[in-house]
């Protein structure tokens, strides 16, 4: 549904005293998109959400919803609904009262509210539970009530502030699917805040990766995973092996980097750094564990690294091999378990190969701390 209401952040700065929480954010969110802000805690993503929902004003710049400037419009006048991290269900109200609170404040009659509550309870598969109190529901049920309550307000934009973080793993995975389904059904814009890259990648049309108040990259899940714009994005989204070094040679969109420990490495320059990365620059090369393989006869066209095996772990569907990597850091390689012997034992020297297209090189930068 492309006809939903879009959201734009136009050069938004948010400061608290001397502290800059958000720096020069420029984001365009398409109407009807499932858009995620992904970043570690304290990166300012919740602050952005609060600015969109109207709980605080940007110190600079504009927030536009459906093209309208929201300056001076309070949270109760904006076409947004927010699902809070702790859900913030009203503990003293019954479920149906919670769900239809937005109608109550507009003066709707009890009968109208009851009817609407029943429809929404049907939708979230909680038929007949409307007269319970929130404390009588399970975590996943509360989650769905919070969604129904927000949807009842018929917002143009639904904002979700890490709503799944309190759930256990299994339920979280189930709720991801459910959220995505609901979004597709109602067709409104969802803006989702999370520090869990799995959530962001599975559900979102587009993801913005944030670091310390700065938006590093905006793109599809594939973009940020496969073509990270900065070292931070590369190290934050998914697992990655990092190699540091200096650029020795540039050929088109490929570069040769002299690494500190692992010799000369060939990699693709990440699209946003093409033309920026110069010979002699400090650089970082990233390669994912699943992009590494044991070198064998038919991999002439691939780049190679050799390293010493430190340990090996069997994880059921795959093996993880830890090797002596760059800069004293461990390097990880994962191999699918296809019934073969991993052929890696401690102390053994291995030669690994990788596809140059899977190794990304970019200017050196701050890494996400584990």
Partner 1 sequence: MKSNVFVSRLALGIYLLIFFGYLLGPLLIMSLTAFNSNAFPSVSPWACFTFEWFQVLFHDERILNSIKNSVIIGIGTVILSVAMGLAASLVLTQVWAKWRSTYYTIIIAPILIPGVVLGISTVVFWDRLSRILGPASDALFHNGIFLTVLGQSTFIASYAMLVFVARLQRYDPGLTEAALDLGATHTQAFRKILLPFMRPAIASASVLAFLASFENYNTTTFTFGRYPTLTIELAQKVRYGINPSISALAFIIVVLTVFGAIALEAWRRNKLKALAVKEGTAPVGRSILPGFLRGNWAAVVLVLMSFAVITVFWAGQSYSPAQCKQRVLELKQAETQRRIQELQLQRQIKRQADALKGPDIFGPSSQSGTGTAGDNPFGGVFNPGNLEGQSGTGTGPTEQPKPEEEPKAAPKPSPFGGVFDPGNLDDVGGN
Partner 2 sequence: MKKPLIFSQFFRNNGKMMGGIMMFLVAFWIIVLILLPQLSMLDFSFRFNLPPKELGGPKDVYTLHNYRYLLYGADGKEGTYNTVDLMVFVRTIIAAMAVTIADLILCYPLAYYLGQSKGTGFVRLLVVLLIIPYWINEILRAFALRIIFADSGIVNDVLMTLHLIKEPIDFIRADIALYAGLGYAYILLMLFPMYNVIESLDRNQIEAARDMGASWTRIHRRIVIPHAKPGISSGMTMVFMLSAGALAAPQILGGPSSLWFTQLVYQWFNGSLNWQQGSAYAIVLLVSSIVIVMTFMKIFKVNMGDIGK
| Closest distance of CB 126 from partner 1, Å | 19
Q: Does 191 bind partner 1 (CB under 8 A)?
A: no
d(CA 69, CA 78): 11
Which residues, 67 to 126, sit near partner 2 by CB under 8 A? 74
| Closest distance of CB 12 from partner 2, Å | 16
In the bound state with partner 1, the residue whose beta carbon lies nearer, of 1 and 105, is 105
In the bound state with partner 1, the residue whose beta carbon lies nearer, of 154 and 181, is 154
Determine the interface stretch with partner 1 among 86-94, 186-194, 223-231, 240-248 (rule: CB under 8 A): 86-94
Q: Which of 149, 266, 288, 332 binds partner 1 (CB under 8 A)?
A: 149
Q: Which of 10, 104, 196, 290 binds partner 1 (CB under 8 A)?
A: 104
- In the sheet where 68-69 sits, what is the strand order? 19-29, 7-16, 60-65, 68-69
Helix, strand, coil percentages in the chain from 3-state DSSP, rounded to 5: 25, 35, 40
Q: Which of 56, 88, 294, 310 binds partner 2 (CB under 8 A)?
A: 56
Q: Pick from partner 1, partner 2, none: which does 57 bind, CB < 5 to 8 A by kind?
A: partner 2
| Closest distance of CB 102 from partner 1, Å | 4
Q: Which of 36, 47, 80, 270 binds partner 1 (CB under 8 A)?
A: 80
Q: Pick from partner 1, partner 2, none: which does 21 bind, CB < 5 to 8 A by kind?
A: partner 2
DSSP 206-241: EEEEEETTEEEEEE-HHHHHHS-SSHHHHHHSS--E
Q: Does 198 bind partner 2 (CB under 8 A)?
A: no
Q: Where are the alpha helices (DSSP H) in 131-289?
A: 139-152, 169-186, 197-203, 221-226, 231-236
Which residue, 54, 55, 57, is CA-closest to 22?
57
Which residue, 262, 221, 217, is CA-closest to 359?
262
In the bound state with partner 1, the residue whose beta carbon lies nearer, of 13 and 84, is 84
Q: Does 327 bind partner 2 (CB under 8 A)?
A: no
Element (H, E) at 123: helix 110-123
Q: Does 76 bind partner 1 (CB under 8 A)?
A: yes
How many residues in the shown chain lie near partner 2 by CB under 8 A?
7
Structure tokens that stand for 118 in this block: 């029943």
State whether the Cα torsion 341-347-353-357 is positive or negative.
positive
Which residues, 227 to 286, sit near partner 1 by CB under 8 A? none
Q: Which of 1, 26, 90, 181 binds partner 1 (CB under 8 A)?
A: 90
- In the sheet where 349-354 sits, what is the strand order? 293-294, 349-354, 303-314, 318-324, 330-336
| Closest distance of CB 200 from partner 1, Å | 23
Q: Does 16 bind partner 2 (CB under 8 A)?
A: yes
Question: 314: left (phi > 0), else alpha (psi -120 to 50), else beta?
Answer: beta
Q: Pick from partner 1, partner 2, none: which does 56 bind, CB < 5 to 8 A by kind?
A: partner 2
Q: Which of 8, 10, 57, 324 binds partner 2 (CB under 8 A)?
A: 57
Give the chain's end-to-end CA distance (angstroms, integer): 38
d(CA 45, CA 51): 10
**Binding string to partner 2 for residues 18 to 47, with x set by CB under 8 A, is what?**
---x-------------------------x
Cβ contacts of 220-228, under 8 Å, gap ≥ 24: 224/38, 225/201, 226/360, 227/270, 227/271, 227/272, 227/360, 228/270, 228/286, 228/360, 228/362
d(CA 252, CA 51): 42
d(CA 90, CA 107): 18
Which residues, 27 to 56, sit near partner 1 by CB under 8 A? 53-55
Determine the interface stretch with partner 2 among 15-23, 141-149, 286-294, 346-354 (rule: CB under 8 A): 15-23
Q: Where are the alpha helices (DSSP H) in 218-365?
A: 221-226, 231-236
| Contacts with partner 2, residue ranges (CB under 8 A) | 16-17, 21, 47, 56-57, 74
* Binding footprint of partner 1 on the chain (CB under 8 A): 53-55, 74-76, 80-82, 84-86, 88, 90-92, 101-102, 104-106, 149-150, 153
């Amino acid at each position: 549904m492309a006809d939903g209401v879009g959201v734009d952040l136009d050069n938004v700065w948010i400061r608290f005293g001397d502290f800059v929480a958000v720096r020069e954010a420029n984001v365009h969110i398409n109407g009807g998109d499932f858009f995620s802000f992904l970043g570690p805690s304290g990166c300012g993503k919740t602050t952005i959400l609060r600015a969109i929902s109207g709980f605080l004003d940007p110190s600079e710049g504009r927030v536009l919803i459906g093209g309208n400037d929201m300056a001076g419009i309070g949270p109760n006048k904006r076409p947004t609904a927010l699902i809070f991290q702790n859900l913030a269900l009203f503990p003293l109200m019954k479920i149906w009262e919670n769900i239809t609170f937005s109608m109550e404040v507009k003066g709707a009659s009890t009968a109208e509210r009851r009817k609407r509550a029943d429809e929404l309870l049907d939708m979230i598969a909680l038929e007949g539970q409307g007269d319970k109190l929130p404390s009588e529901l399970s975590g996943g049920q509360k989650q769905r009530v919070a969604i129904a309550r927000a949807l009842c307000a018929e917002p143009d934009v639904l904002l979700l502030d890490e709503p799944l973080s309190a759930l256990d793993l299994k339920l979280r995975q189930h709720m991801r699917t459910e959220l995505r389904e609901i979004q597709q059904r109602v067709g409104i814009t969802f803006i989702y805040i999370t520090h869990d890259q799995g959530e962001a990648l599975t559900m979102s049309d587009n993801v913005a990766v944030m670091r310390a108040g700065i938006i590093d990259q905006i793109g599809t899940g594939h973009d940020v995973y496969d073509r990270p714009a900065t070292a931070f994005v590369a190290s934050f989204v998914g697992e990655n092996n990092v190699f540091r070094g200096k650029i020795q040679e540039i050929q088109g969109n490929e570069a040769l980097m002299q690494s500190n420990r692992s010799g000369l490495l060939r990699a693709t320059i990440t699209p946003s750094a093409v033309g920026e990365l110069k010979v002699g620059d400090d650089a970082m090369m990233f390669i994912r564990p699943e992009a590494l393989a044991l070198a064998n006869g038919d991999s002439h066209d691939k780049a190679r690294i050799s390293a010493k095996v430190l340990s090996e772990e069997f994880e059921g569907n795959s093996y993880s091999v830890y090797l002596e990597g760059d800069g004293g850091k461990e390097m990880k390689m994962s191999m699918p378990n296809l019934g073969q012997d991993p052929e890696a034992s401690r102390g053994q020297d291995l030669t690994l190969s990788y596809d140059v297209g899977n190794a990304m090189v970019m200017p050196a930068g701050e890494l996400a701390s584990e």
